[in-house]
């Protein structure tokens, strides 16, 4: 019974790894400053018309991702751990259009130098369903693609 529960938990965890062609500090800054987040955060063709960040342990963030159709998707949470250029942990709460939370998870980001590039790992847990994890996998994949493009223009001087 325990092994089934454990396997079920693993199925409801999202893990994505990337290597960004940008220095560690630049990648970390892209996650910590509103002026960067508004440029790349969200799935393809989404914009971020509003972002509030109190970047400190115990501080909060709240941002709006607007779809190409004009639908607002709100996400907010609290920063639980911050080690500059090393790791970032925050809660992740998604609201529906009535303000009800339909997803509440924790996101763990890890950053590591790899010869001037940055090895990046995102782990998000624990989703209520595998389908919810899969939906977030698509969204995060597009978001991280956008981050890679942003970093390629932002980190070159």
> How many Å apart are CA 2 and CA 118, to the nearest integer?
37
Q: Who's near 80: CB < 8 A, 6+ residues apart? A: 57, 89, 90, 91, 106
User: Residue 38: what pLDDT?
Assistant: 97
- Mean pLDDT, contiguous 10-residue spans, the chain (157 residues): 54 97 96 96 97 98 96 96 98 89 95 97 96 95 98 77
Q: Who's near 21: CB < 8 A, 6+ residues apart? A: 117, 148, 151, 152, 155
Is the omega angle on the peptide bond into residue 126 within 30 degrees of 0, that is, cis? yes
Question: Which two three-digit tokens encode residue 40?
Answer: 């790349």
User: Residue 15: what pLDDT?
Assistant: 98
User: Residue 156: what pLDDT?
Assistant: 58
User: Residue 13: what pLDDT?
Assistant: 97
> How many Å apart are CA 138 and CA 38, to the nearest integer?
19
Element (H, E) at 129: none
Provide, for the chain, the percentages of residues in helix, strand and coil under a 3-state DSSP scheme, each rounded to the nearest 5: 30, 40, 25
User: Mind listing the pLDDT tens digit for each residue in 48-58?
Assistant: 999 999 999 99
User: Residue 96: what pLDDT?
Assistant: 80
> Can you give the pTM of this predicted structure?
0.92
User: Residue 8: what pLDDT?
Assistant: 82
Q: Are 143 and 132 in contact (CB under 8 A)?
A: no
């Amino acid at each position: 019974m325990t092994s089934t529960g454990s396997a079920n938990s693993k199925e409801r965890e999202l893990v994505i790894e990337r290597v960004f062609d940008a220095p560690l500090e630049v990648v970390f800054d892209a996650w910590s400053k509103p002026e960067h987040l508004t440029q790349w955060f969200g799935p393809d063709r989404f914009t971020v018309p509003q972002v509030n960040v109190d970047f400190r342990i115990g501080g909060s963030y709240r941002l709006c991702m607007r779809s190409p159709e004009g639908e607002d998707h709100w996400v907010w949470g609290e920063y639980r751990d911050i080690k500059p250029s090393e790791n970032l942990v925050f809660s992740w709460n998604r609201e529906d259009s009535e303000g009800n939370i339909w997803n509440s998870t924790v996101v763990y980001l890890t950053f590591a130098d790899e010869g001037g590039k940055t090895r990046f790992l995102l782990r998000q847990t624990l989703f209520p369903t595998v389908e919810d994890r899969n939906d977030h996998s698509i969204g995060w994949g597009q978001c991280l693609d956008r981050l890679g493009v942003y970093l390629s223009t932002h980190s070159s001087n």
